[in-house]
């Protein structure tokens, strides 16, 4: 059963007298699912510039490319042990960790051609080659194993005339190749975490000086502990890291500064994946059979505001979310999820279109104000999902509400907390009605609010 709660769209009543000709409301599209031509999976990357999704197939040695609805458009073979991936900040290059080749491949995202390979010097294979990638501090960082019982961090610097590889950082910290997480808003912070099936080790590094300077470290973090780490994600402000640990009963939040416990997201047994949108919305997924497979949370709110439960393929089979099997489209309009059919072990890419959430607009103004004097309107947008940079509202003025005709007098920026203000200087006497319109976006429904002010003599 699909447990999505779609927001109803608000519309202006005829009494407002505002023409909405030319105004478009984004329509939520249906979710899709597509069978993938691969038999293993490790990582996913989303390229918004070309609307492509990249998926790695380590045991088949492939990288598959789909469009935003899940249709396969390209498949790279010969990518031995394709494991972790990272997209450059300009979306021009996808970097792929090739564990079984001991290399990092570079793929041009416009031409979908491999353009280079870089030897990491780690050696190749299960206990040597690079497995996880992250872009931080102007370098490509990779996690790798030094032997069967230890892991470390390395970096690839492509800023000079020749590639420079540095290895052997974070030694004596990890018992295997660590997973990495970074965020473009705070590029000098790198988080690494590893689990050998027992207790995970999480470490935070400052990489601004070119090397991994340890800032915090914790073994078996979280109120439930962290056995069998499956995934981790860093919040856009780099203030928190969310971990998905298979033996826990919920997704656990750690404060990046010292890795102390900093809350939970209430999911269910066996968390397997986590992805965080640029506005901080958390997508948390589980592999367990109880409860929804994927849930969405606003930052700091432990209760989900929407969820998906994937239907089983048959009465005697289950559909499970893959480890690290979630990724956001950068505009927050959809989530990509990789699932497995227990009957056939076949993999599916599911495109989960984010439903627009209900949005309200409140407007405040003085009950009366002199004409030809500044009059300030204040207000706030409210929704269960935050508002990104660049959001605006339009302000309409009806000098005679009975006449039913209005004028668009300006627009106002919306702050991150949803507040806005606008100053007008009305000239007509009598009741003046102000209407504030928010046109919505991929994640918020259209909304409006009104207020009437009595304009008096000078």
* Last residue within a domain, chosen from 353, 372, 406: 353
R_g over Cα of the chain: 25
- For 158-194, how does the pLDDT look when each residue is reduced to its tens digit (9 = 90+)? 999 999 999 999 998 999 999 999 999 999 999 999 9
Per-residue pLDDT band for 342 (boundaries 50, 70, 90) equals confident
Tokens of 311: 């239907």
Residue 296 pLDDT more than 90? yes
Residue 236 confidence (pLDDT): 94
The residue assigned the tokens 């997480």 is 181
Please choose, from the candidates 296, 277, 349, the residue with its C-alpha nearest in 3D space to the C-alpha of residue 44.
Answer: 349
Per-residue pLDDT band for 358 (boundaries 50, 70, 90) equals confident
Q: What is the mean pLDDT of residues 106-111?
A: 97
* Last residue within a domain, chosen from 330, 353, 376: 353
Query: How many CA atoms within 13 Å lie on the side-chain side of 252?
Result: 25
- In this structure, the answer to whether residues 148 and 237 fall within a common structural domain is yes
Q: What is the mean pLDDT of residues 122-127?
A: 94
- In this structure, the answer to whether residues 258 and 381 fall within a common structural domain is no
Residue 21 pLDDT more than 90? no
The residue assigned the tokens 């793929």 is 107
- In this structure, the answer to whether residues 340 and 232 fall within a common structural domain is yes
Q: What is the mean pLDDT of residues 284-305?
A: 88
Does 104 fall in a domain?
yes
- In this structure, the answer to whether residues 384 and 446 fall within a common structural domain is yes
- In this structure, the answer to whether residues 374 and 320 fall within a common structural domain is no
Does 12 fall in a domain?
no
Tokens of 15: 């009494």
Question: pTM surpassing 0.75?
Answer: yes
- In this structure, the answer to whether residues 364 and 344 fall within a common structural domain is no
- In this structure, the answer to whether residues 361 and 258 fall within a common structural domain is no
The residue assigned the tokens 């999911």 is 267
Phi-psi region of 57 (alpha: psi -120 to 50; beta: other; left: phi over 0): beta
Residue 11 confidence (pLDDT): 31
- In this structure, the answer to whether residues 225 and 292 fall within a common structural domain is yes
Domain count, the chain: 2
Does 24 fall in a domain?
no
CATH number for 433 = 2.60.40.730
Does 20 fall in a domain?
no
Residue 328 pLDDT more than 80? yes
- For 68-95, how does the pLDDT look when each residue is reduced to its tens digit (9 = 90+)? 999 999 999 999 999 999 999 999 999 9
- In this structure, the answer to whether residues 232 and 327 fall within a common structural domain is yes
| CA 43 vs CA 63, 88, 411: distances in Å | 10, 16, 42
Per-residue pLDDT band for 452 (boundaries 50, 70, 90) equals very high
> Does 451 or 31 have the greater pLDDT score?
451
Does 341 fall in a domain?
yes
- For 401-416, how does the pLDDT look when each residue is reduced to its tens digit (9 = 90+)? 676 668 999 999 999 8
Residue 313 pLDDT more than 90? no
Q: Cβ contacts of residue 23 below 8 Å, gap of 6+?
A: 439
Host domain of residue 81: 32-353
> Does 225 or 357 have the greater pLDDT score?
225
* Last residue within a domain, chosen from 353, 369, 389: 353
- In this structure, the answer to whether residues 147 and 291 fall within a common structural domain is yes
Does 263 fall in a domain?
yes
Contact predicate 310/350, CB 8 Å:
yes
CATH number for 157 = 2.130.10.10
- In this structure, the answer to whether residues 224 and 95 fall within a common structural domain is yes
């Amino acid at each position: 059963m699909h447990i999505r709660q779609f927001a109803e769209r608000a519309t202006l009543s005829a009494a407002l007298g505002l023409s909405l000709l030319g105004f478009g409301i984004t329509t939520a599209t249906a979710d899709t699912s597509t069978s993938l031509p691969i038999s293993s999976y490790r990582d996913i990357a989303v390229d918004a510039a070309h609307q492509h999704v990249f998926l790695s197939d380590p045991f088949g040695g492939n990288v598959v490319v789909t469009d935003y609805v899940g249709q396969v458009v390209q498949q790279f073979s010969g990518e031995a042990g394709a494991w972790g991936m990272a997209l450059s900040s300009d979306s021009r290059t996808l970097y792929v960790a090739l564990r079984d080749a001991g290399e990092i491949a570079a793929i041009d995202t416009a031409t979908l051609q491999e353009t280079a390979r870089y030897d990491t010097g780690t050696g190749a294979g299960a206990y040597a080659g690079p497995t996880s990638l992250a872009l931080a501090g102007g370098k490509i960082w990779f996690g790798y194993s030094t032997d069967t019982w230890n892991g470390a961090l390395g970096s690839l610097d492509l800023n000079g005339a020749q590639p420079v590889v540095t290895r052997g950082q974070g030694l004596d910290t990890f018992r295997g190749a660590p997973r990495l997480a970074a965020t473009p808003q705070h590029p000098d912070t790198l988080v690494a975490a590893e689990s050998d099936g027992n207790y995970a080790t999480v470490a935070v590094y400052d990489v601004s000086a070119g090397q991994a300077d340890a800032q915090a470290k914790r073994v078996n973090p979280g109120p439930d502990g962290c056995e069998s780490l499956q995934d981790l994600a860093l919040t856009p402000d780099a203030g928190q890291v969310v971990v998905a640990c298979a033996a826990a009963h919920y997704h656990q939040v750690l404060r990046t500064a010292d890795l102390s416990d900093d809350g939970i997201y209430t999911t269910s047994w066996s968390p397997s994946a986590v992805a965080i949108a640029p506005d901080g919305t958390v997508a948390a997924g589980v592999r367990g059979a109880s409860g929804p497979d994927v849930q969405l949370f606003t930052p700091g709110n432990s209760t989900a505001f929407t969820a998906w439960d994937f239907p089983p393929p048959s009465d005697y089979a289950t559909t499970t979310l893959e480890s690290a099997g979630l990724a956001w489209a950068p505009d927050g309009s959809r989530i990509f999820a990789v699932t497995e059919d227990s009957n056939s072990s076949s993999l599916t890419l599911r495109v989960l279109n984010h439903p627009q959430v209900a949005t309200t607009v409140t407007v405040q103004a003085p009950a009366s104000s002199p004409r030809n004097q500044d009059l300030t309107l204040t207000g706030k947008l409210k929704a269960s999902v935050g508002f990104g940079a660049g959001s605006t509202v339009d302000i309409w003025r009806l000098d005679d509400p009975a006449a039913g005709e209005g004028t668009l007098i300006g627009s106002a920026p919306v702050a991150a907390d949803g507040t806005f203000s606008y100053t007008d200087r009305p000239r007509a006497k009598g009741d003046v009605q102000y209407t504030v319109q928010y046109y919505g976006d991929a994640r918020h429904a259209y909304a409006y609010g009104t207020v009437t002010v009595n304009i008096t003599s000078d």
